[in-house]
Amino acid sequence: MRPLTALAHDALCEVLHGDDRAIDATVGNGHDTLFLASRVAPHGHVIGFDIQPAALTATRSRLTAAGLDANATLLACGHERLGVEIPPDWVGTVAVVMFNLGYLPGGDKGLITRADTTLAALQQALPVLRIGGLISLMVYPGHPGADTEVQVVEDWLAQIGDQCRVTCHASPGPNLYLITRLA
């Protein structure tokens, strides 16, 4: 089976094009930010959020090495501030928002995403999307706090109703949810 991370990128490629706007809600080691920046180049832009300075430093280096510095702004703050941190004219225009929850591989496993802030970020991400835009949401079980986060995500998905189409790729590990804004 194709890895869920690759499936997420496949789905994002369908809606993300050069010159688009994108948000990486969990920058981490920057693999997804780099992917998004390379897709929106030359004139598009990515805004990335992470609470770990080390993650942002690693990601900035990755972008610089790829010559994509100008295509991304990295914010040292939580994605629960997404609605106030993005430029007002981005609202309703963003092609994709990526969430890859959990902890930074190789980093501090105490600095995980949390149910309350994840829910706040998801609620703010939906209106930021353009119609036809996509939220890619990877949700991991197994670590402390994961059960609560999974439940909160499932409850949110159950009530977004007619506004969205939700596809779930389940696995014995993480689940990938692809959420398309319809209205």
- Are the C-beta atoms of residues 34 and 58 closer than 8 Å to each other? no
What is the per-residue burial (b if ≥16 Cβ within 10 Å, else e) of 77-103? Answer: ebbbebeebbeeebeeebbbbbbbbbb
Q: Is 31 one of the binding residues for ligand SAM (CB under 6 A)? A: yes
Q: Cα(86)–Cα(84) distance, rounded to whole angstroms?
A: 6
Pick out residues in 150-179 that bind ligand SAM (CB under 6 A). none
CB closer to ligand SAM out of 20 and 149? 149
Q: Is 38 one of the binding residues for ligand SAM (CB under 6 A)? A: no
Q: Is 128 one of the binding residues for ligand SAM (CB under 6 A)? A: no
- Position 78, amino acid: G
Contacts of 87 (CB under 8 A, 6+ apart): none
CB closer to ligand SAM out of 33 and 180? 33
Q: Which residue is nearest to ligand SAM (CB)?
A: 28
Residue 117 φ/ψ, nearest 5 degrees:
-75, -35
Shortest Cβ 64–ligand SAM spacing (Å) = 16
Residue 2's Cβ-count burial label (10 Å; 0-12, 13-18, 19+) is exposed
x/- letters, 68..107, toward ligand SAM (CB under 6 A) = ----------xxx-------------------x-xxx---
The residue range among 50-58, 60-68, 89-97, 165-173 that interacts with ligand SAM, by the rule CB under 6 A, is 50-58
- Within 101-183, strands assigned E span 129-139, 164-169, 175-181
Q: Is 117 one of the binding residues for ligand SAM (CB under 6 A)? A: yes
CB closer to ligand SAM out of 57 and 151? 57
Residues that bind ligand SAM (CB under 6 A): 26, 28-32, 49-52, 55, 78-80, 100, 102-104, 111-113, 117
